Structure 1
Amino acid sequence: MRLPLLSSSSALSRAVPRAARIPSLARRASTYPAPAVESKVTTLPNRVRVATEDLPGHFHAVGVYVDAGSRFESARTSGTSHLLDRLAFKSTDKHTDEEMTTLIDQLGSQITCSSSRETIMYQSTVFPQSLELAMSLLSSTILHPNLLPEEIAAQKDAAAYEIREIWAKPELILPEILHTVAFQNNTLGMPLLCPESQLAVLGEKEIRQFMSDWYRPERLVVAGVGMPHEQLCELTEKFFGAASPSSSLDIPSSSLRGASAQPAGAKGFATVSDAPTNLSDDYASLASARALYTGGEQYILKPEEEFVHLYIGFEGLGVHDPDIYALATLQTLLGGGGSFSAGGPGKGMYTRLYTNVLNRYHAVDYCAGFHHCYADSGLFGIAMSVYPQFASSAANIISHQLDTLTRPQKGGITQIELSRAKNMLKSQLVMALESRLTAVEDLGRQTQIHGHKVPVEEMCAKIDALTLDDLHRTATRVLRPSSRTVPLNYGLGSGEATIVAQGQIEALGDVRATIKQWGLGRQN
């Protein structure tokens, strides 16, 4: 399970995280070379998609990406994705639990499962000679799990412990609460962590129905890095080819939920009447449901805590929005982190939240920008942890820092800061792809979202093209939405702030009033 951390959610390549500078990336878009390795996508007869990049190397990375996750859960099924994550690579109709463990050990490499809001990922890095075994294990756990009562009971106990541990750590649970408050009772607001009350409710029947709804061939992408395309297509046909598609028509997918036009090679939408008859009621209501940003407030009193934690966020952009590169650059430009930094300039010490907040106010223990990006919406804002005696200033400092992003002003964004942020963003994007697991996840998720991979050279060129006007305009769209700005995500959201706080919360004062004093949030 992947909890939403405070850095950018990787969704430009899943939305471009923060970066350090590489001088060679300062070149203009016109000087970028053509991609050295072309990605290929093939759709099999049963509509499983296979995507590869034949990058040279001593080992391969392969993954299966299911168009499922917590946004596709209802109040009745909430927590199913979390349990499926934990039940991966247990016994199947082909192997006992012990045999699975032995075979995984024989791979001599990593094999993992993780769930998120919009995808459930099964991934492995393997030596070339073990690729077929890895595909066999992935297919077995995805298509043919036993889900024995003792396995479910054991994983429920493990999940209960995990839930308690995460709820005890503000840096892990508060970003999660931020989502549940921002998108109350719908899609992106459904919890990643299985609610404890659901542990007694969910069983084999509920888990299998969830898999019947969402684990369908047309919702699967098999991605690989390092092997020939034809080889992975043959192995996918062998191990996933027997799965039957739902219908002859496209099924609604989260990948295009935010797209105004259908990208070439990507999936479209079907009406509910096109759906197969063996699906639950949840499928009809959730398959094409758009995220509805509500905003809101939640204050958690914990007077025993050393710090007061405050998160202020606004609705961000979906991954298909053309301004997504500008918003990712704004988060990189904010930067920030903890009060102790062991890094140098390339690790963010010149970002705005370090220079304007952490280096100026010594009662601030942590301050960082966050940017979570999804198919049709997102979250953007600043998180801060302070000593209680300084808490009354926290909302004002955050609001001021957000305000400086929206227009030219004294203390606003400079051209030097913009250039630095763009170089940081590009270098992190490029360096992250040096990891084979990151590269295969990027390939699989982009194939889900766009129907193909957007070349990193194209992303870097779009980042290079950004101007101060682009950043000001995008910040205004997010932080001060109005009838004069381009609507966010079909204009469904409230435009108001999302506020989550924990600790000695009475010391914060009226956070929402402070935000309004700075003119942030929906404008009349």
Structure 2
Amino acid sequence: MNRLAEVHTLPNGVRVVCDPIPGLETAALCVVAGHGARSEDAPRSGWSHLLEHMVFKGAGERSAQEIVEAIEGDGGQINAATGYERTSYQVRCLDGGLDLGSAVLADLVLAPRLDGADLAREKQVVGQEIAEVADTPDDLVFELAQASAFAGQPLGRSILGTTDSIGAATPEALADWRAQLYSADRLVISAAGRVDEAALLRLAERDFGAARAAGAPVDERPAEFKGGQSVQARALEQANLVFLLPTVGVAHPDYFALRLFAEILGGGMASRLFQEARERRGLAYAIDAYAETYADQGVLGVFAGCDAADAAELAQVAADQIARLGEDVTEAELARAKAQLKGGLFMMRESPLSRAEQAAAQVLLFGQTLGPDHLAAGIEAVSREDLARIGQGLSGAGRAAVAVLGPRRAGAAAKAFSRTLFGHA
């Protein structure tokens, strides 16, 4: 039987969730804020990611070197990640390491130094990160598609920001941004592995009990999928293609149907896209489909790398498979997709860090944790009729975000995809 991890709330609004895993000698501790790049306005684009960099330059009484030496000297690991809707700080540690891990993470989130000289250097580092994406076609093509999908909105801007928006940040402005971004009522302390619930609650109160609540950074309005085409000619050996279609968000009842649709479409070597585009036609070495979901909106995505001469045909194949899948999915395909999705779910639960991160995300989205039995039941409940509904929504959207990066000839793929799926370019 899977015990549902209980959510505790400190007097200041910080929530705490503990998920012990018997038999382990290690633990994972995450401090997750329910804000990220989606909370930014255009002038502060990239500030959440920049702040994540800056807190490691010195926090509390520790310098940048002392932060990592303290954790690594205790046998642990420390990391962080910024997304559109969440920012996460993580420590993996040996038994007995939670005390130090909690203290260090609290300093990072609540007491970073944000020194001006450090900020100047870190702006250069982030600038190099931005340049690296621009020089990496199979990274850049995703950003181009995202920008077309959500033009003029935070979801359409790069998490890294721009050199201009990053350059405008000051220590004082970044400190104010930190207070808003890491507001106590949007913080979740989540631990999994060799953890004791009572001890974790004591640490959370000690280290995060003084965190303050603040207003939301900006008015996070519902996302609106715009769609459009972004075609960039580059002197590359291969064309990089991304097709995005609007669909449901993570809290929607059809969430699991969407995940299964993506799995059948392009989730593995048995998927329709892999079999049709690669195995039967030899159009692409790399092709896959995925579902990216936010709180109120989602996208179904297809990525492919191919010869420029094959790009238009490959786009037609992708659109055709999307249109057909909802109509003729077999019970065998659905059963295989359910097995794959459940397999991924339970394999992930063997990682303390994945379990801690997932629990924090669930608390931020739903106010509670969702046990594996609940998730598995949701997967099993999906029918072919549910997949047909997802397919009808995708084909009936009438708009797509298409990004093509590569030789000029590949640009025909953009119109070919929309014309095949919607009957118009």
Q: Same fold (TM over 0.5)?
A: yes
SS of equivalent to 1:406: helix
Give the AA of the match of 2:421. Answer: W
Q: What residue is the counterpart of 1:111 in the other structure? A: 78
User: 1:517 & 1:102 partners in 2: Cα distance?
Assistant: 56
Q: Within 5 A, what are the aligned runs for 1:73-84?
A: 73-84=40-51
Q: Tell me if the contact between 1:313 and 1:499 (Cα under 8 Å) persists in the aligned partners.
A: yes
Q: What residue is the counterpart of 1:359 in the other structure? A: 279
- For residue 141 of structure 1, report the CA deviation from its aligned partner: 0.9
1:444 equivalenced with 2:376 (yes/no): no
Q: What residue is the counterpart of 1:519 in the other structure? A: 422
- For residue 215 of structure 1, report the CA deviation from its aligned partner: 1.3
Q: Tell me if the contact between 1:65 and 1:121 (Cα under 8 Å) persists in the aligned partners.
A: yes
1:140 equivalenced with 2:107 (yes/no): yes
Quick check: 315-324 or 161-170, which moved more? 161-170
Identity %: 27
Q: What residue is the counterpart of 1:509 in the other structure? A: 412
C-alpha change, 1:510 and 1:245, in structure 2 (3 Å) is closer
C-alpha change, 1:301 and 1:242, in structure 2 (3 Å) is same
Q: Show structure 2 runs of 5+ residues with no match.
A: none
Q: Tell me if the contact between 1:225 and 1:440 (Cα under 8 Å) persists in the aligned partners.
A: yes
Q: Tell me if the contact between 2:243 and 2:302 (Cα under 8 Å) persists in the aligned partners.
A: yes
Q: Within 5 A, what are the aligned runs for 1:228-377?
A: 228-246=196-214, 275=215, 283=217, 286-302=218-234, 304-335=235-266, 348-377=268-297
SS of equivalent to 2:43: coil
Q: Tell me if the contact between 2:42 and 2:154 (Cα under 8 Å) persists in the aligned partners.
A: no
C-alpha change, 1:196 and 1:361, in structure 2 (3 Å) is farther
Q: What residue is the counterpart of 2:345 in the other structure? A: 429
User: 2:162 & 2:278 partners in 1: Cα distance?
Assistant: 35
Q: Would you say how many aligned residue pairs link Structure 1 and Structure 2?
A: 423
Give the AA of the match of 1:112. Answer: N
- For residue 518 of structure 1, report the CA deviation from its aligned partner: 3.3
SS of equivalent to 2:62: coil
Q: Give the structure-2-normalised TM-score.
A: 0.94
Which of 198, 215, 223 is the equivalent residue of 2:165?
A: 198
SS of equivalent to 1:298: strand
C-alpha change, 1:521 and 1:64, in structure 2 (3 Å) is farther
Q: Within 5 A, what are the aligned runs for 1:211-222?
A: 211-222=178-189
Q: Show structure 1 runs of 5+ residues with no match.
A: 1-33, 247-274, 337-347, 482-494
Q: Tell me if the contact between 1:90 and 1:141 (Cα under 8 Å) persists in the aligned partners.
A: no
- For residue 380 of structure 1, report the CA deviation from its aligned partner: 0.4
SS of equivalent to 1:38: coil
Which of 378, 384, 388 is the equivalent residue of 1:472?
A: 388
SS of equivalent to 2:174: helix
Q: What residue is the counterpart of 1:159 in the other structure? A: 126
Q: What residue is the counterpart of 2:401 in the other structure? A: 498
- For residue 514 of structure 1, report the CA deviation from its aligned partner: 4.8
Q: Tell me if the contact between 2:50 and 2:166 (Cα under 8 Å) persists in the aligned partners.
A: no
Give the AA of the match of 1:370. Answer: Y
SS of equivalent to 1:242: coil
Q: What residue is the counterpart of 1:87 in the other structure? A: 54
Residues 374-414 of structure 1: CA distance to partner in whole angstroms, max 9, x if unpaired? 11111103222211222231221111111112323xxxx22
Q: Within 5 A, what are the aligned runs for 1:7-156?
A: 34-35=1-2, 37-56=3-22, 57-156=24-123
C-alpha change, 1:520 and 1:378, in structure 2 (3 Å) is farther
User: 1:521 & 1:439 partners in 2: Cα distance?
Assistant: 44
- For residue 172 of structure 1, report the CA deviation from its aligned partner: 1.8
Q: Tell me if the contact between 1:319 and 1:374 (Cα under 8 Å) persists in the aligned partners.
A: yes
SS of equivalent to 2:333: helix
C-alpha change, 1:477 and 1:512, in structure 2 (3 Å) is same
1:397 equivalenced with 2:322 (yes/no): no
Please tell me the root mean square deviation across aligned C-alpha atoms, in Å: 1.9
Q: What residue is the counterpart of 2:148 in the other structure? A: 181
C-alpha change, 1:189 and 1:520, in structure 2 (3 Å) is farther
Which of 375, 378, 382 is the equivalent residue of 1:459?
A: 375
User: 2:160 & 2:57 partners in 1: Cα distance?
Assistant: 20
- For residue 520 of structure 1, report the CA deviation from its aligned partner: 6.7
Report which of the two has the higher share of helix. 2
SS of equivalent to 1:163: helix
- For residue 97 of structure 1, report the CA deviation from its aligned partner: 2.6
User: 1:301 & 1:100 partners in 2: Cα distance?
Assistant: 44
